[in-house]
């Protein structure tokens, strides 16, 4: 919660327009609370049952963990690539994303509290930060993997989760997911815009570079079905990602 409120303070300070960009090396790993206990993704219990309060709590806890990672990922993107002469609008965009991720985290924390739970009560996985660490030296890889694979994946799955919550009678949690979904379309849009701009500045073809970076830096295939409507709303056309669609480890599409 301290990190989320500090994110809002920093975003407000940045918005004044007088803060220098600086060139401090960010830590390889951002600070985290002692809990939740972090486990490899394969050791996480599957969450299937949204009908029970425990199932909903587990889902909201997992989403809160994703949003905390998203706060860290947005600030890391702000801090890690300061030496390559990016324009101020790059930082405007990602500071705004960090602030929205902090908002998402706090919304989920408040909902968890209403359900009698706290962030840290359950274990969580470390897969998202691993993606960040792998792309610390390559901005195009970072943009391909974080906004354009991971956040775009959120666009694919969030509407269905919201619908399942509604069917389970939890309209309040569903409303939070709708807010998150709308703002995440904006994050994917920002990711795609900067990805394309940086590619074009080097005379590279964005869709080709996207596929190259995802193949090299993201473990596994992209999982269909894709939410083409939400992805298109983010300006992310299917010819970027469709050729990377595959089957998962269990052989299921
Ligand atoms: Fe978010
Ligand atoms: Fe996001």
Please, which pLDDT band fits residue 28 given cuts at 50, 70 and 90? confident
Gap between the Cα atoms of 8 and 44, Å rounded: 31
Length of the chain: 253
Q: How many CA atoms lie within 13 A of 157 on its CB side?
A: 11
- For residue 191, give the 3-state DSSP assignment: helix
Per-residue pLDDT, averaged over 205-230, amounts to 95
Q: Quote the DSSP letter at residue 150.
A: I
Ligand nearest to the CA of 103: 1
Please give the pLDDT value at position 47: 62
- Which of 77, 68, 23 shows the shortest CA–CA distance to 195? 77
**Closest ligand to Cα 146:** 2
Q: Which ligand is nearest to the CA of 151?
A: 2
Residue 185: is the preceding peptide bond cis (ω within 30°)? Answer: no
Average pLDDT of the chain? 93
Cα–Cα distance measured from residue 197 to residue 218, given in angstroms and rounded to the nearest whole number: 21
User: Residue 132 — pLDDT band, cuts 50, 70, 90?
Assistant: confident
Ligand 1 centre distance from Cα of residue 207 (Å): 24
pLDDT band for 121, please (50, 70, 90 cuts). very high
Please report which residue ranges of the chain form alpha helices under DSSP H: 2-15, 53-80, 88-114, 127-134, 139-145, 152-167, 171-201, 206-217, 228-233, 238-241
Model confidence at 251: pLDDT above 60: no
CA of 183 to the centre of ligand 1 (A): 7
Of these ranges, 7-11, 17-21, 27-31, 128-132, the one predicted with the greatest mean pLDDT is 7-11
Cβ neighbors of 228 (< 8 A, separation 6 or more) are: 238
72 and 133 Cβ atoms separated by less than 8 Å: no
Give the highest mean pLDDT range of 28-37, 134-143, 240-249.
Answer: 134-143
pLDDT, tens only, 47-91: 667 788 899 999 999 999 999 999 999 999 999 999 999 999 999
For the CA of 97, the nearest ligand: 2
182-200 exposure pattern, b = at least 16 Cβ within 10 A, e = fewer: eebbbbbbbbbbbbbebbe
User: Considering every ligand atom, which ligand is closest to the CA of 180?
Assistant: 1
Res 23: pLDDT? 87
What is the per-residue pLDDT for 59? Answer: 95
Q: How far apart are CA 187 and CA 101, in angstroms?
A: 10
Q: 18 CA distance to ligand 2 centroid (A)? A: 26
CA of 69 to the centre of ligand 1 (A): 9
Q: Report CA(42)–ligand 2 centroid distance (Å).
A: 23
Question: 2, exposed or middle or buried, with CB in 10 Å at 0-12, 13-18, 19+?
Answer: exposed
pLDDT for residue 40: 82
SS3 105: helix
- Residue 161 pLDDT exceeds 70: yes
Whether 252 has a pLDDT exceeding 50, the answer reads: no
Q: What pLDDT is attached to residue 51?
A: 80
pLDDT score, position 11: 98
Residues with a beta carbon under 5 angstroms from ion ligand 1? 67, 70, 101, 104
Question: 220: part of which helix (H) or strand (E)?
Answer: none
Q: How confident is the model at residue 247 (pLDDT cuts 50, 70, 90)?
A: low
Q: Which two tokens stand for residue 139?
A: 């901005």
């Amino acid at each position: 919660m301290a990190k989320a409120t500090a994110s809002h303070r920093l975003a407000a300070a940045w918005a004044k327009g007088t803060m220098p960009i600086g060139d401090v090396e960010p830590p390889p790993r951002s600070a985290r609370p002692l809990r939740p206990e972090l486990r490899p993704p394969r050791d996480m219990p599957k969450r299937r049952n949204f009908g029970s309060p425990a199932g909903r709590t587990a889902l909201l806890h997992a989403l809160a963990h994703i949003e905390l990672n998203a706060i860290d990922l947005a600030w890391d993107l702000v801090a890690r690539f300061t030496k390559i002469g990016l324009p101020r609008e790059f930082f405007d965009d990602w500071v705004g994303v960090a602030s929205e991720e902090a908002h998402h985290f706090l919304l989920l924390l408040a909902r968890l509290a209403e359900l009698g739970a706290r962030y840290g009560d359950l274990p969580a996985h470390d897969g998202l930060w691993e993606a960040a660490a792998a792309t610390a030296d390559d901005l195009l890889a970072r943009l391909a993997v974080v906004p354009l694979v991971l956040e775009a994946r959120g666009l694919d799955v969030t509407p269905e989760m919201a619908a399942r919550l509604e069917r389970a009678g939890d309209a309040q949690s569903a409303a939070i997911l709708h807010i998150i979904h709308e703002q995440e379309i904006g994050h994917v849009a920002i990711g795609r815009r900067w990805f394309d701009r940086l590619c074009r500045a080097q005379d590279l073809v964005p869709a080709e570079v996207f596929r190259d970076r995802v193949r090299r830096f993201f473990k596994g295939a992209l999982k269909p079905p894709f939410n083409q409507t939400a992805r298109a709303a983010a300006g992310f056309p299917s010819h970027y990602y469709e050729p990377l669609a595959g089957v998962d480890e269990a052989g299921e599409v």
